Structure 1
Amino acid sequence: IEDAFEKLPIHWMWWPALGGVAVGLVGLVSPSTLGVGYDNVAAILNGEKLGAALAFFAVMKFVSWSISLGSGTSGGTLAPLLTIGGGAGALLGAGLHALFPHAAIDPRVAALVGMAALFGGASRAMMASVVFAFEVTLQPLGLLPLLAGCAASYLVSARMMRHSIMTEKIARRGVRVPSEYAADYLDRVLVRDVIKGELVTLVSDRTVKEVRAWMAARAPGSSHQGFPILNAEGRAIGVLTRRDLLNPDVPEDATLGALVKRTPLIVFADNSLREAADHMVRGGVGRLLVVDPSDATRPIGIITRSDLLNAHRNRLTSDSEATGKIPLPSRSLLRRRA
């Protein structure tokens, strides 16, 4: 309906006016659809609306509410969803009771489950819907049906809807809305847990010629892409990459200390990978020296962008093993099917 309003050859400020006219026309046909609707919710739960009258009311309420939202008219979602869900639940419960009279299905309980399930699925707030319905009715016998109905509604909604009803409009405006909320994995892993192997360092008074010969001989540790440079006291003064050392414009008699252009960027061993990633971005570098908090001048390791990616790879591997080594389809694939 919102897409239909956008195709109208009139200014958007007239959309709510047209929507209001349509809602008013629906109200002439079914006056009970107007207003907040909590009296309708109470009537449905009390079994005062039944049969064809309830079906007609639920359909008209859905039509008027859809037009109201689609036109941009200010209005809520809680009461309409409860009303429509309650009507659908009551009708389904009445139908099942007629087909299976010995099952003792109470249409009023079905209405309660329908209210909570529709709101829980549309808003993606499953537990909040269960608690809300239970708190309003204080009926302990309805807790299990509420949990089952809201869980089923949530699963169907997650499979068929890309966004919840609360975030659909801002998503249409181009704002990315996260669908899942979880702790940042990089914030849960410490730097000291990912650095491995012996740190290969170079002394600042060595010449470029000596280092190039060392690399050409493929000595242990010479295949690294970055090397911390230490002074005579064993303190880090910078980091040189393999490209820096093999640059043909650099004279072979130059010392490594002369090639260092900036002080090294460091990260403490007890920092998280998230903090390390932030340091890399701020400094515009791809590697950081890892130091002990007690002495920030003596490196104990080095961490690179590859280490951050490997940490994510380990997380994905662990997730696959936890699900029986069967990779689950991503949410983006599920959304494309919808």
Structure 2
Amino acid sequence: MGQPSVRAPREYEPVDARTILLVGLAIILAAAAALAAQLLTALIGLVTNLVFHGRVATSLVAPASGHPGPAVVLLTPVVGAILVGIMARYGSAAIRGHGIPEVMERVLFGESRIPARVLVLKPLSAAIAIGTGGPFGAEGPIIATGGALGSLAGQFLRVTSDERKTLLAAGAAAGMAATFGSPVSAVLLAVELLLFEYRPRSLIPVAIAAAVATGVRAVFQGTQPVFGMPTVAQPGMVALGVYTALGVAIGILAAAITRGTYAIEDAFERLGHRFGIHWMWWPAIGAVVVGGVGLIEPRTLGVGYDNITGALDGSIVGRALIVLVVLKFVSWAIYLGSGTSGGTLAPLFTIGGGLGAWLGAHLARIAPGLGVDPRVAGLVGMAAIFAGASHALLASIVFAFETTRQPMGLLPLLSGCAASWLVSLLLSRNSIMTEKLARRGTMVRSEYAADHLAHVVVRDVAPRDVVTLRADDELASVRQWLAGGAGGATHQGFPVLDDELQLVGVVTRRDLLDPSHDDAQCVRAVIRRSPVVVYEDSTLRDAADQMVLERVGRLPVVRREARRQVVGIISRSDLLTAHAPRLEAAHRAHRARRFPWRRERGAPSGG
């Protein structure tokens, strides 16, 4: 009788042929997402031009530049909000909000499946909400639309859930890159908020998608930075300290904004329950505030990318700037909390950049010796509020650089964003992206650590003293041995060897004591499957995956050159025990070395 085959773990491959397939799909997806971004931008421009300027055009213009009358400013956002509410109620409630938390939820719990109707309704509702004066950026809906494109492609193709997630992230990154011309920060944002991993097989398609989308954008809009500003100089050490302190202040503000926006959302919930107002009408209530604020400061209406540029290049300063910041926040927070469709990034950039530039200008006037540049302060404020609110540190820093092309701003960006991230984490565990998920009972951690089990080799953990059984032993003697409780008899599983000490299979205690097997039968008769093993140079991650895939609780350990020679055994409890060094390294503080002039306690003093 031939020996049964041995099932060992698959060899680790960082990339394979399917990665190449994903890259090809990502290229097509990126081109589609970039074109969708151009289409959505044109659609927003069309709605804006129609309702505020009375003309048919697709250029992205400020609603206030046409000097509309008070009735138009006040009523147009309300009409748009009613249309969005109807679309959300009778089309899909998933179009409510700024999109990224909803995409994150589908990645985490929906196998990255986004309904097809969202692909149409999200950009259309956003175009109406923003085009009628909503104080949002186009980037949130574009990112959500790109993600929906990737998800839909992954639903029609025969791919795994992980591959569908990669396509979703590639589409989302392509959307962001096509909006701002920021491919690197788009990839980093996908890693920090959508992929929840850093692996070549997912990162490569996303990176190529972002690059392709940026190339498509350059064809339509050129390669100039989105937020152009005069060249800034390298800051001194004192100024760097000021920018870091600015990051601390912005981090406090970011945490407050996160709590404030969701407090407003809760207020709408209470309002609706108390007065019986369906949530489809909430955006119309919020739009009343948008119109009212727009009467006071028309620049709060619409996308407002020009406001960000104005804060960074110094064309909007003083009282006008701080009024714009405050009113933009009021208008955006209330309208977003009402449940309409729009983005969060552009409003955050306006608030953070404007506040930073305003504080920087005051410091430059009061204490010129500090060497603070208001433009750099605005740049730090713009990025730091993004880092503090989204908890996406690297994406925030690189985004500010890519959209302004200011290399001398990288150092203050690094210190200011890191300070903001630190403070916001101390004040609020959840970001503006994950707070909604947390309220639904889902905790999303903002940190990604290397898999500890992937760095521990099986040979370093697996016990070498293996209790084995012989295939030709009678069950009667084996059962008697188990009942006696001798050394090793309390184990739950045993490798079975033949007369040549080669592995035949594994039996459990339950198999051996099964009354359906007669005492006269041999151990070989109760083996139910071919042996499942793990190599001694495999990682514990390989062993854990093998246990899950094969649905076993223990694995014989063998050498690659001798796949039936048992040299150890590893169980699920060994995998748990292997985490002890990781936990000790994280929680046990101790001094690795002592200062030479410090004497050990109790040691003789000499003399």
Q: More deviation in 256-265 or 37-46? A: 256-265
Per the TM alignment, residue 325 of structure 1 is displaced from its structure 2 partner at its CA by 7.6
Counterparts of 1:85-234 in structure 2, within 5 Å, are: 85-208=352-475, 210-211=477-478, 212-213=480-481, 216=484, 218-219=486-487, 221-222=488-489, 224-234=491-501
Pair 1:139–1:265, CA change in 2 (3 A): closer
Whether contact under 8 Å (1:86, 1:111) holds in the other structure is yes
Structure with greater helix percent: 2
Q: How far apart, CA to CA, are the structure 2 residues paired with 1:45 and 1:273?
A: 51
Alignment correspondent of 2:565: 298
Alignment correspondent of 2:182: none
Q: Return the structure number with greater relative CO, CA threshold 8 A, min gap 6.
A: 2
Alignment correspondent of 2:306: 39
Structure with greater strand percent: 1
Alignment correspondent of 1:307: 574
Structure 2 counterpart SS, 1:301: strand
Q: Does 1:6 align with 2:269?
A: yes
Structure 2 counterpart SS, 1:17: helix
Per the TM alignment, residue 261 of structure 1 is displaced from its structure 2 partner at its CA by 4.2
Counterparts of 1:278-297 in structure 2, within 5 Å, are: 278-297=545-564
Q: How far apart, CA to CA, are the structure 2 residues paired with 1:107 and 1:120?
A: 20
Alignment correspondent of 1:54: 321
Q: How far apart, CA to CA, are the structure 2 residues paired with 1:136 and 1:233?
A: 70
Alignment correspondent of 1:276: 543
Q: How far apart, CA to CA, are the structure 2 residues paired with 1:255 and 1:42?
A: 82
Alignment correspondent of 1:329: none
Whether contact under 8 Å (2:482, 2:490) holds in the other structure is no
Q: Which runs of 5+ in 2 are unaligned?
A: 1-263, 593-607
Q: Does 1:25 align with 2:292?
A: yes
Pair 1:166–1:239, CA change in 2 (3 A): same
Alignment correspondent of 2:65: none
Q: How far apart, CA to CA, are the structure 2 residues paired with 1:310 and 1:191?
A: 12
What do the CA deviations read for 1:135-184 (whole angstroms, capped 9, x no partner)? 44444443322211111011112222333223443444455534222332
Per the TM alignment, residue 307 of structure 1 is displaced from its structure 2 partner at its CA by 1.1
Per the TM alignment, residue 61 of structure 1 is displaced from its structure 2 partner at its CA by 0.5
Amino acid of the residue matched to residue 181 of structure 1? Y
The structure 2 residue matched to 1:72, chosen from 339, 361, 364, is 339
Pair 1:120–1:27, CA change in 2 (3 A): same
What do the CA deviations read for 1:310-335 (whole angstroms, capped 9, x no partner)? 122222223346x6489xxxxxxxxx
Q: Which runs of 5+ in 1 are unaligned?
A: 327-338
Amino acid of the residue matched to residue 557 of structure 2? V
Using structure 1 for the length normalisation, give the TM-score. 0.82
Q: How far apart, CA to CA, are the structure 2 residues paired with 1:289 and 1:217?
A: 22
What do the CA deviations read for 1:173-222 (whole angstroms, capped 9, x no partner)? 45553422233222333333322323221213334564445884845x55
Using structure 2 for the length normalisation, give the TM-score. 0.48
Whether contact under 8 Å (1:55, 1:91) holds in the other structure is yes
Q: How far apart, CA to CA, are the structure 1 residues paired with 2:494 and 2:402?
A: 63
Structure 2 counterpart SS, 1:162: coil
Per the TM alignment, residue 287 of structure 1 is displaced from its structure 2 partner at its CA by 0.9
Per the TM alignment, residue 62 of structure 1 is displaced from its structure 2 partner at its CA by 0.5
Per the TM alignment, residue 131 of structure 1 is displaced from its structure 2 partner at its CA by 2.4
**Pairs aligned (count):** 324
Q: How far apart, CA to CA, are the structure 2 residues paired with 1:90 and 1:248?
A: 81
Whether contact under 8 Å (2:481, 2:489) holds in the other structure is no
Whether contact under 8 Å (2:356, 2:381) holds in the other structure is yes
Q: Which has the larger radius of gyration?
A: 1
Whether contact under 8 Å (2:352, 2:381) holds in the other structure is yes
Structure 2 counterpart SS, 1:296: strand
Whether contact under 8 Å (1:215, 1:223) holds in the other structure is no
Per the TM alignment, residue 293 of structure 1 is displaced from its structure 2 partner at its CA by 3.1
Alignment correspondent of 2:282: 15
Structure 2 counterpart SS, 1:133: helix
Q: How far apart, CA to CA, are the structure 1 residues paired with 2:331 and 2:269?
A: 18
Q: More deviation in 226-235 or 166-175? A: 166-175
Pair 1:87–1:309, CA change in 2 (3 A): same
Q: Give the root-mean-square deviation of aligned CA atoms.
A: 3.1
Amino acid of the residue matched to residue 184 of structure 1? D
Alignment correspondent of 1:335: none
Pair 1:325–1:175, CA change in 2 (3 A): farther
Pair 1:207–1:105, CA change in 2 (3 A): same
What do the CA deviations read for 1:3-40 (whole angstroms, capped 9, x no partner)? 12222122222222222222112111211111211221
Pair 1:251–1:314, CA change in 2 (3 A): farther
Per the TM alignment, residue 305 of structure 1 is displaced from its structure 2 partner at its CA by 0.5
Q: Does 1:316 align with 2:583?
A: yes
Q: How far apart, CA to CA, are the structure 1 residues paired with 2:320 and 2:514?
A: 84
Q: How far apart, CA to CA, are the structure 2 residues paired with 1:18 and 1:318?
A: 53
Pair 1:134–1:213, CA change in 2 (3 A): closer
Structure 2 counterpart SS, 1:158: helix
Alignment correspondent of 1:336: none
Whether contact under 8 Å (2:463, 2:570) holds in the other structure is no
Structure 1 counterpart SS, 2:576: helix
> What percent of counterpart residues are identical?
56
Pair 1:230–1:95, CA change in 2 (3 A): same
Q: More deviation in 254-263 or 285-294? A: 254-263
Amino acid of the residue matched to residue 384 of structure 2? A
Per the TM alignment, residue 71 of structure 1 is displaced from its structure 2 partner at its CA by 1.7
Pair 1:155–1:324, CA change in 2 (3 A): farther
Alignment correspondent of 2:103: none
Per the TM alignment, residue 83 of structure 1 is displaced from its structure 2 partner at its CA by 0.8
Amino acid of the residue matched to residue 80 of structure 1? P
Amino acid of the residue matched to residue 426 of structure 2? R
Whether contact under 8 Å (1:41, 1:83) holds in the other structure is yes
Whether contact under 8 Å (1:194, 1:311) holds in the other structure is yes
Q: How far apart, CA to CA, are the structure 2 residues paired with 1:18 and 1:302?
A: 66
